[in-house]
Amino acid sequence: MQKQGTLLKSPVAAAYPTLVETYLHIQKDAAVETAEKGRTLIHEDDFADHSMLLLDGWVAFSKMLPDGEIQIIDVMLPGDFALIGAVNAPVAACTIEALSDVRFIKILPAQANGPEVEMEQLRSLFAGEIVRMQARTSELLLRMGKGNAASRVAYALLEFHVRLEAIDLSKDGYFEFPMNQHKLGEFTGLSNVHVCRTLRRFEREGIISHPTYTAIQLNDLDALCMLAGINLDAFRHEILIKRSK
């Protein structure tokens, strides 16, 4: 069951003042909801006319085939915004699941509409976040369509690193990683066996390591970039895109 939480300052606010702080400045009494790891926040095809602003934790957006096979379409990280549904399209296209304990704000249409300059700025920022989501989804789909297992896993690890690094949650390639091999397989379109083999190969070659059960260390970014076909500086620009100050 989702719980209401008091509004605590999110570490994301300092990194992305244009979104989190702008919204909290406008909606000073915004209610923060919490959910535990593994909780389904909304099911595909449920009624939904709202957006989500994630303050803490990881959230997966997924689709499921009739035979039960699941594909994670995108992963929200702290500070991310997602359009779940709209007034003229009030249906959730994906199932939304908490991959870790999360804190988020549900944004109803009335809380994002209005003629005020601040509201116009807010909607512009939301639009920018949607473009960033499309950019990273395009990169993932490219690897899924044309890349092998090593390329897909390398891409996924680099994407998470780059996005977390931008909000100071990845330090020298080290970050908390709440996705198990099964979830990573759902994100990369690979079986557990392929994910396991690929990660073990990366570990044998010293490309990655696991300092703790819930964390990962990317030891060789150059090797991962080679496998994923990525220029890291260009990649940062492509999936982050400059956030206005």
| Residue 42 to residue 97: CA distance in whole angstroms | 7
| Backbone torsions φ then ψ of 44, nearest 5 degrees | -55, 135
* Domain 3-133 of CATH type 2.60.120.10: yes
pLDDT digits (tens, 9 = 90+) for 7-60: 444 444 444 446 777 788 777 788 899 999 999 999 999 999 999 999 999 999
pLDDT value at residue 18: 67
Domain extents in the chain = 3-133, 138-240
The residues pairing with 171 across neighbouring beta strands, listed in sequence order, are 174
pLDDT value at residue 74: 95
Eight-state DSSP code of residue 110: G
pLDDT digits (tens, 9 = 90+) for 57-84: 999 999 999 999 999 999 999 989 998 9
CB-based contacts of 10, cutoff 8 Å, min separation 6? 20, 55, 56, 78, 79, 103
Q: CB neighbours (10 Å) of residue 81?
A: 24
Q: Is pLDDT larger for residue 118 or for residue 199?
A: 199
Calculate the average pLDDT of the chain.
87
**Closest of 43, 139, 27, 141 to residue 84, by C-alpha:** 43
Q: Is the pTM value of this prediction over 0.85?
A: yes
* Domain 138-240 of CATH type 1.10.10.10: yes
Contacts of 166-171 spanning 24+ positions with Cβ under 8 A: 166/15, 166/236, 166/240, 167/11, 167/12, 167/15, 167/16, 167/77, 167/78, 167/79, 168/11, 168/15, 169/11, 169/77, 169/78
Cα-Cα-Cα-Cα torsion 169, 175, 178, 181, nearest 10 degrees, comes to 140
Confidence of residue 129 (pLDDT cuts 50, 70, 90): confident
Amino acid identity of 199? L
